Structure 1
């Protein structure tokens, strides 16, 4: 590992290079830290911490998310905790909301600022696992000298983003190590567990958000991503995870406009029974026409007045 002065000189050399940022994601992050956020790699202050009132407010906003995350954080910590690692969960601003750490290691992580309430955004801490993961919205490993601040070069951080039910990024899952002998190969092994846990949290949170729907697990070329669709009683897709949105060409963020599952999945799986089938057919036609009754009637091959009568009989007024 480089000495602190040598690290500072290296970071400044890279950030002053006109071409380094184009060749390396790490260099691009260092340059963001210096140019965009105005940070100095020699700065020795610790991470900022929010007060208990604002911390509690952030935790309450993500109450359901934290509830479904807790047992999965426990499982991850049971795998990595004995090797000098801590498990941290942040919100989308990089503020640590929950943590798992061995009692013997707690003082070290506390001294580094890796604790509940600390702000590890890239804006505040420069290149680091949590902040860079959230900024670039991708899995990252920031190993020792890859950190922006010289004071952070004793740690290794492995992170994965977690997306919410509407495709937006809601958190980062972090495993940080206090071991001086932590190797890059070991980091890659931990990264696989971090990604698996992040996916499990994302899936559990999505299912909790759409607990009154049928959940379809779809296929994706990314085995480490959660690919789920939520289908309501009318056979309309009303929700999709981030990866499902990408796979099926849906809006990447925000509430989805309901669409018939058959239109998205390419097959007809309508309900049985004439009345249920008629009900579903009318709902689908209305969905396809964005609620325009005249257009829906034309799709169904009936008159507008006839469709209104059927809607009334089916309880779709």
Structure 2
């Protein structure tokens, strides 16, 4: 739609170019636009056709991330139920910004397809400049790109709220996106959506971490915030074989890639003050011993470790057989009727 003759506001592409001129672009918005121009060679006045992969190439990418897509699907459904009434779509991309899964209402399908918010479309910064998905992946953090904060004018009608999803190897593996083109979406509503997007991304991360170590025991410790919870995977020999990004950073482990296996006790330490990991492990061991009524062999089988390994863990955690028996005797048995209620 042409602008009215009396409209003296600068065109979006002129504003982007002007704000990006200086190498010392001061605002975050200007720095992002400059990155789009300098790093990727994009021109805000010349937007190429949207890049979309064919069905075969998109399917191949989906196959490579099959485990992630499987654990993400129910979480995407839940998020969509929350944001659908506000006219939003829910998208999941790979690390290159290619849309692999989507939740879009039938009535809005044609509009979202025209905007490129559809399976197979490329939303990397190299293709679309500053945008929610691409910028989130480049910066590795949650972002909201609201309307004219986009690089290309064709995207300025949209608001995109995104969070990165970190894989068990410490690298960004995907982006979770909620987008809409409604003018009544303000900063307050965007903040509420961002909270939901961030929470869903962390849920997907945790589920993907567990799926990546199906035979391991997962130990969880609370971080400084919910999105910084520490997860480590420990095998039956008490060796740490996996750690999420927060745990890698907290314990000075390899930043990315496969971890060098190391005894979990070396990671957790032996200080007088028990760590969050040790509290979680102690709770797990005590729970198994209690359910086994103090029988160490039965508890070891339930935990999937050898009897000798469990004794070593008990010693490290200060748990004796006497402690286990005391906890068992102090735990009243549930009445038979109540027990049946939990198993209808």
- TM-score normalised by the chain length of structure 1: 0.82
* 1:1-317 pair list within 5 angstroms: 6-20=11-25, 23-267=26-270, 276-277=308-309
> What does the per-residue CA deviation read over 1:131-183, in whole Å, with 9 as the maximum and x for residues that have no partner?
00000111100000100001100000000000111111100000001212211
- Could you tell me whether the CA contact under 8 Å between 2:219 and 2:233 is conserved in 1? yes
TM-superposed CA distance for 1:261, in Å, is 1.2
- TM-score normalised by the chain length of structure 2: 0.76
Cα distance change of structure 1 residues 59 and 215 upon mapping to structure 2, 3 Å threshold: same
Cα distance change of structure 1 residues 163 and 108 upon mapping to structure 2, 3 Å threshold: same
- Could you tell me whether the CA contact under 8 Å between 1:46 and 1:112 is conserved in 2? no
Cα distance change of structure 1 residues 278 and 17 upon mapping to structure 2, 3 Å threshold: closer
Cα distance change of structure 1 residues 92 and 278 upon mapping to structure 2, 3 Å threshold: closer
Q: Secondary structure at the match of 1:257?
A: coil
Q: Secondary structure at the match of 1:104?
A: helix
Cα distance change of structure 1 residues 205 and 106 upon mapping to structure 2, 3 Å threshold: same
The higher-RCO structure (CA 8 Å, 6+ apart) is 1
TM-superposed CA distance for 1:43, in Å, is 2.6
CA RMSD of aligned residues (A): 2.3
TM-superposed CA distance for 1:3, in Å, is 9.3
Gaps of 5+ in 2: 1-6, 271-277, 286-295, 298-305, 314-344
Q: Secondary structure at the match of 1:216?
A: strand
CA distance in 1, matches of 2:186, 2:14: 24
TM-superposed CA distance for 1:9, in Å, is 1.3
Gaps of 5+ in 1: 282-317
Aligned length: 278
List, as ranges, runs of 4+ consecutive aligned residues in structure 1 with deviation greater than 3 Å: 2-5, 267-275, 277-281
